[in-house]
Amino acid sequence: MNTIAEYTLVTLLLAGGFFTLVGAIGLARLPDFYTRLHGPTKATTVGVGAIVLSSVIYFSSKGEGVDISEVLITVFLFLTAPVSANILAKAAMHIGVSTTKNTQGNTWDQ
Amino acid sequence: MLDRLSFPQPYLSLILFVVWQFLSDGMSGASIVMGFVLAWLIPQLTRSFWPDPPAFVRPWKLPFYLALVLYDIVIASISVARLILSGRQPKPVLVSYPLELTHPLAISMLASTISLTPGTVSADVSDDRALLLIHALDAESDEEVINAIRTRYEARLKEMFP
Amino acid sequence: MITIALYITIAMVVLAAILNVYRLIKGPDAPDRVLALDTLYINAIALIILLGITLGTRLYLEAALLIAVMGFVGTVAMAKYLKRGSVIE
Task: Tell me how many domains chain C contains.
Answer: 1
Whether B65 contacts B161, CB under 8 Å: no
Which sign, positive or negative, has the C-alpha torsion A102, C29, C65, B106? Answer: negative
Provide CB contacts within 8 A for B97, sequence distance 6+. Answer: B131, B132, B133, B134, B145, B146, B149
Q: Does A71 touch chain C (CB under 8 A)?
A: no
Residue B118: pLDDT band with limits 50, 70, 90: low
How far is A43 from chain B, CA to nearest CA, in Å? Answer: 6
Mean pLDDT per segment of 10 residues, for chain A of length 110 residues? Answer: 83 90 86 82 81 87 72 85 87 78 66
- Between A25, A33, A80, which is nearest C32 by CB? A33
Chains with 3 or more CB pairs under 8 A to chain C: A
Chains with 3 or more CB pairs under 8 A to chain B: A
Q: Does A99 touch chain B (CB under 8 A)?
A: yes
Q: Flag if C31 and A92 touch (Cβ within 8 Å).
A: yes
Q: Is the pLDDT of residue B42 over 80?
A: yes
Spatial separation of the C-alpha atoms in residues C31 and B103, rounded to whole Å = 30
Domain ranges for chain A, please list them. Answer: 3-95
User: Counting one residue from A and one from B, how many pairs have CB atoms under 8 Å apart?
Assistant: 121
Q: Which domain holds residue C23?
A: 2-84
- Between A16, A37, A62, which is nearest C35 by CB? A37
Angle at C61 between CA A28 and CA C23, to 5 degrees: 10
Q: Give the pLDDT confidence of B13-27 residue by residue, as tens digits.
A: 888 888 888 887 767
Provide CB contacts within 8 A for C72, sequence distance 6+. Answer: A76, A80, A83, A84
- Between A24, A73, A88, which is nearest C34 by CB? A88
How far is C88 from chain A, CA to nearest CA, in Å? Answer: 16
ipTM of the complex: 0.86
Identify the closest residue of chain B to A93 by CA–CA distance.
B123
- Give the pLDDT confidence score for residue B161 in this predicted structure: 75
Q: Is the pLDDT of residue B126 over 90?
A: no
Spatial separation of the C-alpha atoms in residues C62 and A44, rounded to whole Å = 20
Q: Is residue C52 part of a domain?
A: yes
> Among residues of chain B, what percentage have pLDDT more than 90?
0
- Mutation site for B-interface testing, chosen from A44, A71, A86, A103 by largest number of B Cβ within 10 Å: A86
- Give the pLDDT confidence score for residue A60 in this predicted structure: 82
Residue B93: pLDDT band with limits 50, 70, 90: confident
What number is the average pLDDT over the span B87-103?
80
| Contacts with B, A 1-20, CB within 8 Å | 18-19
- Give the pLDDT confidence score for residue B110 in this predicted structure: 86
Residue C14: pLDDT band with limits 50, 70, 90: very high
- Between C9, C23, C76, which is nearest A14 by CB? C9
Query: Helices C30-55 and A3-29: crossing angle, nearest 10°?
Result: 160
Spatial separation of the C-alpha atoms in residues B113 and B41, rounded to whole Å = 29
Identify the closest residue of chain C to A55 by CA–CA distance.
C53
Q: Is residue C89 part of a domain?
A: no
Q: Does C33 touch chain A (CB under 8 A)?
A: no
Residue B10: pLDDT band with limits 50, 70, 90: confident
- Give the pLDDT confidence score for residue C21 in this predicted structure: 92
Q: Does A40 touch chain B (CB under 8 A)?
A: no
Q: Does C37 touch chain A (CB under 8 A)?
A: no
Which sign, positive or negative, has the C-alpha torsion C78, C83, C84, C88? Answer: negative
Identify the closest residue of chain A to B113 by CA–CA distance.
A82
Spatial separation of the C-alpha atoms in residues C27 and C11, rounded to whole Å = 24
How far is A35 from chain C, CA to nearest CA, in Å? Answer: 11
| Contacts with A, B 22-51, CB within 8 Å | 22-23, 26
- Give the pLDDT confidence score for residue C15 in this predicted structure: 93
